[in-house]
């Protein structure tokens, strides 16, 4: 059915700039026209923008609710196991709905912590069903690791400092027989057969070089080159990962990835905080993308990624929330604002304009998630767009001010009215239409609270484990 959406202002993309007093028409998931409205549309003012993208996430619960806060990634990633999904559908639906409510048409689900309650293909089906119910596009990559489950090396020094009961608890949670590269490729193929479609892009998801053997990385690179399947991976997120990489790849970890064919336009790399200039240049030359996760890096004290430098050397930049937005609310608009403020320039020198950054973050995010098009609102493009309350955004109305500049000065998810994805209204007046997000979150809280006693052994083991982890990682840096 043909739908007409009036707009006081519409940002179609970097080439066309702002269009005033227009009507966007869409039908069967595609934009059919954008035309001038005659006469001008009365009523509340709206700003229509291309829908946003959360280009790196894991579809998990809020980690701080489980005490995973105020610590570096190397401790946080183990502590966050307390938030392992108790119901894959509900957990994914809550995370996906929060991204949708923040204006996202697409989200990357790098699935690092399966629930263990069902076969992995069935779990992937549950997540795809959640995405369908919410109405959002997803990329899904089952994260895989086959080494270093506790620390980046021999975990005996850490585990030997625990009591026998605590050691047993930690080993049962984290130390398991790894999946072979062949089995992982076959499992990814099975997941793709089960859930891939126009709004679900199944990708390969090695967790990170420190967690993956060379055999696994090389198998992923070979399969991607053969099938065209995209790859999503963390890289050089922390100083400890940098130290590990330098020790194990003395000729350079990014050079190794390049030499095995891992780097390509099919690859998206999350973080790259501690990548060096020559490594950034190799990533840029390959056509791969970097997803920056500014707030997550603040929460985990990981550092500041060289995003402006990467952009200047031609690297494609996208933005992700990583389940750790500044206020843990999955607000990707605020996240884009933070990235723009931090990396947008120094003094009079600008890295990009706000409009340019918005367009590139969306276009590169869509490529990272396999969503069609660049996000530009033009005839024939997917009908993926958001409507912003321009009366609230431009609350003073003293003089004409570019609404994109206003958006990057004061915008957040609360300004969003509607979100349309593939022609479907998935958020109306700030509320998800396909799922009841407040009810889902209440149900999840109830399940976690009821199961809290089962987490007691891990909670008892945590203080000595945390101390042992800190000692191990600090010793690695001291030995460099």
pLDDT tens for 410-463 read 999 999 999 999 999 999 999 999 999 999 999 999 999 998 888 899 999 999
Question: Residue 300 CB: number of other CB atoms within 10 A?
Answer: 25
Cα–Cα distance for residue pair 461/77, rounded to 1 Å: 15
Structure tokens at 268: 């998206």
Residue 268 clears pLDDT 90, i.e. is over it: yes
* Domain range for 82: 52-379+434-440
pLDDT at res. 69: 95
Indicate which CATH number applies to the domain containing 393: 2.30.40.10
Examine the domain organization and report whether 291 and 155 are in the same domain. Answer: yes
Is the separation of the CB atoms in 438 and 445 below 8 Å?
no
Residue 110 clears pLDDT 60, i.e. is over it: yes
* Position 360 in a domain: yes
In the block, tokens 């995973």 appear at 68
Examine the domain organization and report whether 339 and 401 are in the same domain. Answer: no
230: DSSP letter: -
Cα–Cα distance for residue pair 461/67, rounded to 1 Å: 14
pLDDT at res. 17: 81
Examine the domain organization and report whether 400 and 329 are in the same domain. Answer: no
| Single residue among 411, 431, 451 that ends a domain in this structure | 431
pTM of model > 0.85: yes
Examine the domain organization and report whether 57 and 136 are in the same domain. Answer: yes
Residue 40 clears pLDDT 80, i.e. is over it: no
Examine the domain organization and report whether 426 and 363 are in the same domain. Answer: no
Examine the domain organization and report whether 178 and 272 are in the same domain. Answer: yes
Indicate which CATH number applies to the domain containing 92: 3.20.20.140
* Position 460 in a domain: no
* Position 446 in a domain: no
Q: What are phi and psi of 317, to 5 degrees?
A: -115, 135
Cα–Cα distance for residue pair 161/289, rounded to 1 Å: 41
Number of residues in the chain:
480
pLDDT at res. 41: 65
Examine the domain organization and report whether 37 and 101 are in the same domain. Answer: no
Is the separation of the CB atoms in 415 and 392 below 8 Å?
yes
Burial class (CB in 10 A: 0-12, 13-18, 19+), 232: buried
Q: What are phi and psi of 137, to 5 degrees?
A: -80, 145
Is the separation of the CB atoms in 158 and 150 below 8 Å?
yes
Q: pLDDT tens across 59-98, in order?
A: 999 999 999 999 999 999 999 999 999 999 999 999 999 9
* Position 472 in a domain: no
Examine the domain organization and report whether 333 and 274 are in the same domain. Answer: yes
Can you name the residues that pair with 30 across neighbouring β-strands? 27, 382
Q: What's the structural domain count of the chain?
A: 2
């Amino acid at each position: 059915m043909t739908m007409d959406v009036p707009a006081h202002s519409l940002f179609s993309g970097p080439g066309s700039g702002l269009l005033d007093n227009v009507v966007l028409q869409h039908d069967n998931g595609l934009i059919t026209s954008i035309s001038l409205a005659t006469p001008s549309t009365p009523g509340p003012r709206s700003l229509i923008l291309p829908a946003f993208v959360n280009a790196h996430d894991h579809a998990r619960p809020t980690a701080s609710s489980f005490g995973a806060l105020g610590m570096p990634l190397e401790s946080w990633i183990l502590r966050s196991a307390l938030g392992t999904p108790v119901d894959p559908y509900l957990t994914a639906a809550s995370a996906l709905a929060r991204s949708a409510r923040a204006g996202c048409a697409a989200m990357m689900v790098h699935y690092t912590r399966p629930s263990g309650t069902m076969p992995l293909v069935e779990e992937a089906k549950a997540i795809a069903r959640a995405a369908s119910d919410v109405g959002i596009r997803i990329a899904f990559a089952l994260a895989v690791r086959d080494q270093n489950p506790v620390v980046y090396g021999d975990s005996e020094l850490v585990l030997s400092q625990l009591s026998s009961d605590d050691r047993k608890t930690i080993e049962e949670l984290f130390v398991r027989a790894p999946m072979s590269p062949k089995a992982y490729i076959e499992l990814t193929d099975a997941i793709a057969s089960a859930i891939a479609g126009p709004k679900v892009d199944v990708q390969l998801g090695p967790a990170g070089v420190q967690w993956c053997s060379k055999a696994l990385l090389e198998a992923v690179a070979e399969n991607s080159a053969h099938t065209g399947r995209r790859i999503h991976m963390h890289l050089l997120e922390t100083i400890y990962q940098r130290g590990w990489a330098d020790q194990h790849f003395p000729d350079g970890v990014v050079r190794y990835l390049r030499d095995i064919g891992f780097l390509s336009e099919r690859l998206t790399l999350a973080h790259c905080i501690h990548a060096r200039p020559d490594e950034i240049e190799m990533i840029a030359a390959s056509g791969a993308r970097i997803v920056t996760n500014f707030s997550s890096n603040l929460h985990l004290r990981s550092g500041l990624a060289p995003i402006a430098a990467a952009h200047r050397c031609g690297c494609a930049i996208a933005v992700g929330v990583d389940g750790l937005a500044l206020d843990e609310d999955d607000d990707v608009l605020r996240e884009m604002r933070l990235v723009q403020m931090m990396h947008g320039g120094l003094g009079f020198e600008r890295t990009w304009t706000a409009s340019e950054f918005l367009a590139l973050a969306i276009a590169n995010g869509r490529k990272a998630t396999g969503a069609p098009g660049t996000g530009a609102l033009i005839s024939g493009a997917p009908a993926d767009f958001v409507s912003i309350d321009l009366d609230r955004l431009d609350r003073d109305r003293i003089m004409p001010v570019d609404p994109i500049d206003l958006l990057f000065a004061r915008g957040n998810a609360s300004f969003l009215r509607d979100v349309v994805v593939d022609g479907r209204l998935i958020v109306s007046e700030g509320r998800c239409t396909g799922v009841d997000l407040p009810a889902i979150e209440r149900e999840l809280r109830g399940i976690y609270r009821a199961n809290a006693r089962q987490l007691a052994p891990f909670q008892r083991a945590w203080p000595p484990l945390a101390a042992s982890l800190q000692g191990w990682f600090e010793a690695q840096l001291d030995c460099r």
